[in-house]
Amino acid sequence: MHDWTTIIKATTVKDPASGAVNTPIHLSSTFYQADFDHFGEFDYSRSGNPTRQVGEAAVATLEGGKHGFLFSTGMAAISSVLEIFSQGDHLLVSKFVYGGTFRILTEVLNRFGITHTFVDPTDLAAVEAAIRPNTRAIYIETPSNPVLAVTDIGAVAELARRHNLLTIADNTFMSPVLQKPLALGVDIVVHSATKFLSGHSDILAGAAITNDDALADRIYFIQNAFGATLGVTDTFLLLRGIKTLGVRMAASSKAALALATWLQAQPQVTRVCYPGLEGDAGHAIQAKQAVNGGAVLSFDVGSEANARILAESLTIPEFSVSLGGAESILSYPPKMSHAEMSPAEQLACGITPGLLRFSVGLEDPRDLQADLAQGLAKLK
């Protein structure tokens, strides 16, 4: 089956009790047990819930995985996956990770003795040189937030396997219709399902997917022990949002390529980061491992002052954090998603003062381009 069909089949699961084509929202924290000695499949919703089970199976199917887990937020998914490690374990982490992932590593997990080294995942020799006897995993995010740096997923996974390490990949920016890290050798995929998977800027959600039974047991143990599970109403909305994932990603990524190409030719724009562009540093690897460049791009207008003028001039995109909604979203990473990093740390990751991130929604791209043109015309 092709992805678009798989998406619909995975999210249209008939209710065994009624035949309803949409999974009911099972608003029950507890489940009746008929037998004193033998309990049924569900007993308490933190441990398992029929609505969440359908959502978890759907995200697993989409990623080509056996086991899916849904969490209350993307950070809950990432934190829970990282909690499978123990005191004394060391992780190699892409220096391009999302600010919240940076925060959990540098300000929480380090307090529990889970240490990390940030590495440039585009430099495999440097990644290999950073491996220590207690290193357990390599954590990547590709394309990265917000500069869309591309990591060669297969090459990192192969390096990790040679050293008996796990590979964990944040696939938020691509979604499973554009990129399937498990098929490229990754052990665990994580998502902020808040973004493209749900697709409507209405819920917070996170997902983790694996093919490995033993890893799935470890993730399930943490999911149940830590308890950051996705609520059932949000699971319903996630399933509903996923139904249009294929068409949304196709439309938004086509528009993103058109806008990136156009932005490149504008004199006020000093840099465009979009791996769908042939001249982009990550283009060749992106073309090998993903369907296209995705629906997010970033571009530099030279200074914070210009970024401010543009943000205040645009009328179509919402100026806000987040991405992956039906509406286009313009954000300013230095003060938003990556505010956790010091200016020096930001610069080391290519987050310059004039950088804006554009998550391309479902508006007509001609209107988005016209809006950008009138905004750019106001820059100094």
Ligand X SMILES: Cc1ncc(COP(=O)(O)O)c(C=O)c1O
Site membership for ligand X, residue 74 (CB under 6 A) = yes
| Sign of CA pseudo-dihedral 157, 159, 165, 170 | negative
Binding track, positions 117-146, relative to ligand X; x by CB under 6 A: ------------------------x---x-
Site membership for ligand X, residue 194 (CB under 6 A) = yes
| Sign of CA pseudo-dihedral 195, 196, 202, 205 | negative
The stretch near ligand X (CB under 6 A) out of 70-78, 153-161, 243-251, 271-279 is 70-78
- Could you say which residues in the range 292-331 bind ligand X, by CB under 6 A? none
259: amino acid identity, one letter:
L
The Cα 336–Cα 322 span in angstroms is 9
Question: How many chain residues bind ligand X (CB under 6 A)?
Answer: 15
Q: Which is nearer to ligand X, 206 or 354 (CB)?
A: 206
Nearest C-alpha neighbor of 238 from the set 192, 289, 279, 297: 192
The span from the first CA to the last CA of the chain, in angstroms, equals: 52
Site membership for ligand X, residue 175 (CB under 6 A) = no
- Could you say which residues in the range 206-265 bind ligand X, by CB under 6 A? 206
Q: Which is nearer to ligand X, 42 or 98 (CB)?
A: 98
Site membership for ligand X, residue 192 (CB under 6 A) = yes
Write down the least CB distance from residue 320 to ligand X, Å: 11
Site membership for ligand X, residue 75 (CB under 6 A) = yes
In terms of C-beta density within 10 A (0-12 exposed, 13-18 middle, 19 or more buried), how is residue 327 classed?
Answer: middle
The Cα 253–Cα 251 span in angstroms is 6
Q: What residues are annotated to the active site?
A: 46, 98, 170, 195
Q: Around Cβ 251, how many Cβ atoms within 10 Å? A: 18
Task: Give residues in contact with ligand X (CB under 6 A).
Answer: 73-75, 98, 100, 141, 145, 170, 172-173, 192, 194, 204, 206, 337
